[in-house]
Amino acid sequence: MKTAHEIAETFYKTPALVSHRVRCGKPGCRCRDGAGHGPYWFLRWREGHIQRRCYVQNADVATVRAIIARRRADDRALRLARKLAWGDLGRMGEWLQNLDTD
C-alpha cells in the first residue's frame, strides 16, 4: 500500500486533501451530540466512477498539503504554457496564409 506522500507526489492527477469528523457510535461518547472525533485527514480522488481515499497522519498533513499546492501550481503553469503555444501556433498559421496570398 502506498503512503499518502507517495500518492500525493506520484498519482497521475492531483488528489484533494479533505478532513472529516466521525462519530464512533458508542452510546455514552461525547461525539454523539457534539461535533464528532477528528478531524481526520484523507487524500481523496476518483478512479472512473469509484471514489478512493487514503488516510493522512496528522504529522504528515503539512507536507502533503505542500506537495498538493506545488503540483497545482505546476499544473497551472503547464496549462498556461499550452495556451501560449496554441496562440503562437495560430499566429504562425495566419502568417503562413498571408505569405501564400502575397
60-81 confidence digits (pLDDT tens): 889 888 988 998 899 899 999 9
| Residue 87 within a domain | no
Nearest-angstrom CA–CA distance, 79 and 70: 14
3-12 confidence digits (pLDDT tens): 776 776 667 6
What's the domain count of the chain? 1
Q: Supply the pLDDT for residue 83.
A: 93
| Residue 80 within a domain | no
Rounded to 5 degrees, what angle do the CA atoms 58, 63, 69 make?
125
Q: Supply the pLDDT for residue 93.
A: 86
| Residue 102 within a domain | no
| Residue 53 within a domain | yes
| Residue 92 within a domain | no
| Residue 62 within a domain | yes
Residue 37 belongs to domain spanning? 4-72
**What integer best gives the mean pLDDT of the chain?**
84
Q: Which residue has the cell 457510535?
A: 25
Helix (H) or strand (E) holding 51: strand 50-56
In angstroms, what CA-CA distances link 63 with 1, 54, 75, 79, 89? Answer: 19, 15, 18, 24, 39
